[in-house]
Chain A
Amino acid sequence: MIPGAFEYHRPQKVDDAIALLVKHGEDARVVAGGHSLIPMMKLRLAVPAHLVDLQDIAELRAIRSDGGTLVVGALATQREVIGSEPLASKCPILRETALQIADPQVRYVGTIGGNVANGDPANDMPAVMMALGASYRIRGGRGERDIPARDFYRGSLVTALEAGDILTSIRIPTPPQGHGYAYEKQKRKTGDYATAAAAVILTFSRDACSSAAVALTNVAPTPLFATAAGEALVGTRLDEAAVAEAVRRARAIVEPAADQRGPVDFRVHVAGVMVRRAIQRAKARAS
């Protein structure tokens, strides 16, 4: 379990990192926390000849509230997300999700950018970003652009990132005060990836749901934004009929792999249960 050899680079600025990626093309990979990439390198499933370490680039770490948008730097660690006061008060689903990722050591080092950018369908944050309607700010060879999370994932480990691109920050429209939220994750043990997980963001007051977004983790080659499931809740009292319909619609779009976490029909079942619980908890939290 020894990684292949590489040349190591530690740029101080984003543009220097991009220049390295452009120069070395397919032979270069960025490393943030490294807790997805390094295990792959140890198995020699990833053998970059050039490793571009982003840890010194200060502008990638900042977490801030910018008017109606929360800006989370790509290199912010899960632990920093958990400890962030603005995020805890304005977008608490992030903290709830981060606490369910891996274990304390991984959370000290693993970054939110790495979690959303590498296209691993087992990662938790992508579905949350889809539910929040977040977008990813990408800087690369052709300048800067924002890509909505809902459009970012193309396949397992395949995203909209092009050669030379770096995710610099995640931009989240601040959810309305009193919004309901939940990230429900079923896993075999603490720290495991999800057997199935669901993220729900909704607004519900005076017995009416005015907006709802549902997204799913690890039940398809990409994270899934369950558009129809969210639509089933809008305009309803989030009563059993509405919830059941949302669950039915979510189950209809999942295509989980059969693996150590269970056979296909079990994982479909768990996906439905996670959607149900997430809606119920989000409803209870909404005001």
Chain B
Amino acid sequence: MSAPVETADVRKQQLEGLGARRKRVEDARFTQGKGNYIDDMKLPGMLFGDFVRSPHGHARVKSIKKDAALALPGVKAVLTAADLKPLKLHWMPTLAGDVQAVLADEKVLFQGQEVAFVVAEDRYTAADAVELIEVEYEALPAIVDPTKSMAPEMSSALRFL
């Protein structure tokens, strides 16, 4: 870090009153690339995760084939809602007071929804494992117009289970 330019007296003077000019304490690190952001963290034995995501906005998940992914060296686990269910972790409470599926539970409710989670030794292996997981979907109609979704006959279509 470069040496402070002001003397203690000058700094004390500058501390008084509105508009006193202060430098941030973190900029020295950030301008040298020593920020320690989340992705910068490196811990021994650290594992990497990646998701299989649904291309469909609304679909039934008929089957998930994990074998090829699990056989890939470096893959530690492939999790689906079925794995979370016995632990009662497949739906979790949100801050909005409702519940949300952690991984798609028999049905996909939005495009991009997480269907399976791969855990592997490095991010390249995790990404390769994602490609090896085969999900069979039965595509269902998706209502994307909010006005239409409010029609009385739609209310039964909004059941989650």
Indicate if A touches B (C-beta under 8 A).
yes
Chain A residue at smallest Cβ distance from B130: A2
Contacting B at CB under 8 A, from A1-44, are 1-2, 4-5, 44
Chain B residues within an 8 Å CB radius of A2:
123-124, 127-128
Q: Which A residues lie within 8 Å of B124 (CB)?
A: 2
When C-beta atoms are compared, the residue in chain B nearest to A42 turns out to be B127
Listed in ascending order, the chain A residues whose CB lies under 8 Å from chain B are: 1-2, 4-5, 44
By a beta-carbon cutoff of 8 Å, the part of chain B in contact with chain A is 123-124, 127-128, 131
* Residue with the highest number of chain B CB atoms closer than 10 Å, among A1, A2, A4, A44: A2
A4 to B128, CA, bound (A): 7
In Å, the complex CA distance between A2 and B49 comes to: 13
Chain B residues with CB under 8 Å of A4's CB are 128, 131
Chain B residue at smallest Cβ distance from A44: B131
Residues on B with C-beta less than 8 A from A1 are 127
Closest CB in chain B relative to A176 CB, distance in Å: 52
Give the complex CA separation of A64 and B123 in angstroms: 45
Closest 5 A/B residue pairs (Cβ): A2-B127, A2-B124, A2-B123, A44-B131, A2-B128
A2 and B128 CA atoms in complex are apart in Å by 8
Give the shortest distance, in Å, between A158 (CB) and chain B (any CB): 25
Per the bound structure, the CA–CA distance linking A5 and B125 in Å amounts to 10
Query: CA–CA, A2 to B127, complex, Å?
Result: 6
Task: Give the chain A neighbours of B127 by CB distance below 8 A.
Answer: 1-2
User: Of all chain A residues, which has the CB nearest B125?
Assistant: A2
Nearest-neighbor residue (CB-CB) of A5 within chain B: B128
Report chain A residues within 8 Å CB of B123.
2
C-alpha spacing A5/B127, complex, angstroms:
11
Residues of chain B within 8 A of A44, CB atoms compared: 131
B128 cross-chain contacts in A, Cβ below 8 A: 2, 4-5
Give chain A residues whose Cβ lies under 8 Å from the Cβ of B131.
4, 44
A281 to B68, CA, bound (A): 60
Residue of B nearest to A2 (CB): B127
C-alpha gap A44/B128 in the complex (Å): 10
- Please give, as numbers and ranges, the residues of chain B lying within 8 Å of A5 by CB-CB distance: 128
Closest to A1 in B: B127
Shortest Cβ distance from B122 into A: residue:
A2
